[in-house]
Structures are given as structure tokens and as C-alpha cells.
Amino acid sequence: MKVLDPDEEKAKQDPAYHLNSTNLETRETLAELYKEYKGDELLASTMKEPKAKKTDKFNAAHYSTGRVSASFTSTAMTPATAHEADAIADDEVRYQYVKKKAYVRLHTNKGDLNLELYCDKVPKAGENFIKLCKKGYYDGTVFHRSIRNFMIQGGDPTGTGTGGESYWGKPFKDEFKPNLSHTGRGVLSMANSGPNTNKSQFFITFRSCTYLDRKHTIFGRVVGGFETLTAMENVESDPKTDKPKTEIKLISTTVFVDPYEEADAQIAAEREKEAQKQEEERAQTSASISKAKAEQEPKTYRAGVGKYINMAATKRSATDEDSKPSSSDTAAKKPKGRMGFGDFSSW
């Protein structure tokens, strides 16, 4: 029989108990580790389950959230036994309802430029530009780069060509379309520093630049104010920095058509209509269930014992039985049939 020492058992829970000998440096390192270690807190924060997003007819995916399989294979997950449809990103749902092009006017110190945005084809870049325009993000900015017979670039609040943020505060992915090309004068495209690094900067071409296809996202074109574009191109630039020697400023912007607002309003109306429809169906189902229950309940004829028995029907049934002729009377009245062959006189 072995007697356990409580103090020794408690000391064994410390990993340092199993170290035979440690030098000063090791002891100091372990002391600092125990003092500043936050691994458990970080692990707990990363193991938090994401909040389930409410789904409906419009954003329910054809695949599940995967919680059932995840909880089955991981003890860190809360057990789940019911499959739930995953939620599609809000942007994907909204962009399905964007069927129109947007129209924006840029007011510059050289004149106005009217732009048509391909929101129905490149919705992310189109929404980014419109939201920034409505936000006043481009107001007072300058076109910091201009190369004759090539393009003019702007959209950077710092005016250096290295600044600017997207409407969402982070870069968004490229949207390349095979039917959109940098062909002709006045093509509106996103400036970037590499794949999927679109922010706020954009450029307008002075001539065809098809070699930029599938490198920069085309999201619009100039449809009015080409004389303004010519005046901007005629401004001389520094050959070393390509910065215009005379400031070309974007004073303000005006958004005439915003298809994203229309899409949001349409989705809200359809969701409200769907909610009313479901409420009516629930009310109809509840009424049908109540009616069925009422029909299934037995009819009460009186209070007390035998309240479900219809005595009138029972008496009527007994009277009908008494009024029927007996079987003996019926047998007596029945004529006797002739038996045998009789004679052969009829032959």
C-alpha cells in the first residue's frame, strides 16, 4: 500500500517538476513564460463559434453550414444534429438584382466628364466608385499622373499615387470580363499595384491600351465631355514623375443613377412580401389545425356519465327493431312451394 503525499501530487502538475536540474537562464525564461503566457486566452478566442447568420429565401445557399460534421469530429464544437443552410454573402445576393448601368458626372477645373458605369457587369468596382463619390471621397483630389497618348490617373486623396482606400477599407478582387477591353478613348478602369489590389484610384485612357486587358478592371467609359478630356490631355506633365505641371483638380461628383439603391429597395420589398406570405400561410395552417381538432372531438349530448351517447338515436333504433316483422311471421306467410313431379298430363 502506497501513501500519496498531497503536496507532491500538486507539485507534479507543474511541468517544471519533471526537470531534474535547470540553470539560472532556464529558470528566468520559465518564470517570464508563466508570467506573460496568454496561449489559453488566444486559443479560447479563436475557438469561438461564428454567429449563425439568419437565412431566408433570398440568401439561403444550396449547401449547409457544416456544423453537424464539424461538431461530430471536434470536441471543441458545440454538438449540432440539424443541418442548416449556409448564408450567401449579402453582396452576391444584391448584385443579382443590379440590372442597370450607373451614371456619374465629374466636375473638374477643366470642365465636366460624364461617365457610364458597367454596374451590371462589374458590380463590385461600380459600387466602390459610386459609394466613394456619394461619400465625397474624391472631392478636392487631383489627377496626379498624366501621360499624353496613354491615360490620366486620379482618385488618390494624398495626391502621391500611393494612397487611397476602397469604400470597404480593404482591397477588393479584380473583375475581368471578356467583352470589356481597353479599346478606344475614354475607357474608365481601376488602377492597382498588382492582382486583386483595387482601392480608390482609377484612370481614363486617351487611346487604346489593349495590353492592359486582364490586368486592370474596366468598369465604365466616358460618354460626354470629350473636349474636357482633351483639355486634360493637353496639360504638360513632368517627364520624370508624369505629374501635371498645372493642377488638374476633381472638384466634386454628382451621381445621377444609382442601381444599387434600386436593388436594395427591391430586395427589401420582396422580403417584406415574402414575410407577409409566410405569416398568412402560418395563420391558415393554424386555422386548419384548430378546425381539424374541433371536428375530431366527440359531440357532447348531456352532462355526466354517458354524455357522449345519443339516447334519442338509441331509442329510435330500438323502435325500428320492434316495428320489423319477426322471422317466424315471414316464414308463415311464405307460400309453400310444390314439391315432386305430379302427373304427366301436361306432357
Q: Cα–Cα distance between 183 and 213 in angstroms, integer? A: 9
Q: How far is CA 74 from CA 84, 188, 193, 275, in A?
A: 18, 50, 41, 37
Q: Cα–Cα distance between 149 and 209 in angstroms, integer? A: 10
User: Of residues 145, 198, 206, 250, which has the active-site annotation?
Assistant: 145
Q: Are 186 and 113 in contact (CB under 8 A)?
A: no
Judge whether 4 counts as a catalytic residue: no
User: Of residues 94, 182, 216, 221, which has the active-site annotation?
Assistant: 216
Q: Cα–Cα distance between 268 and 265 in angstroms, integer? A: 5
Judge whether 153 counts as a catalytic residue: yes
Q: Please, what sign has the CA dihedral across residues 237, 243, 245, 251?
A: positive
User: Of residues 58, 150, 185, 271, which has the active-site annotation?
Assistant: 150
User: Of residues 148, 212, 266, 271, which has the active-site annotation?
Assistant: 212
Cβ-in-10-Å burial (0-12, 13-18, 19+) of 67 comes to buried
User: Of residues 59, 153, 198, 201, which has the active-site annotation?
Assistant: 153
Judge whether 192 counts as a catalytic residue: yes
Judge whether 214 counts as a catalytic residue: no
Judge whether 150 counts as a catalytic residue: yes
Residues 16/20/21/22 CA torsion (nearest 10 deg): -30
Judge whether 115 counts as a catalytic residue: no
User: Of residues 129, 172, 202, 203, which has the active-site annotation?
Assistant: 203
Q: Cα–Cα distance between 105 and 225 in angstroms, integer? A: 9
* Residues labelled catalytic: 145, 150, 153, 192, 203, 212, 216
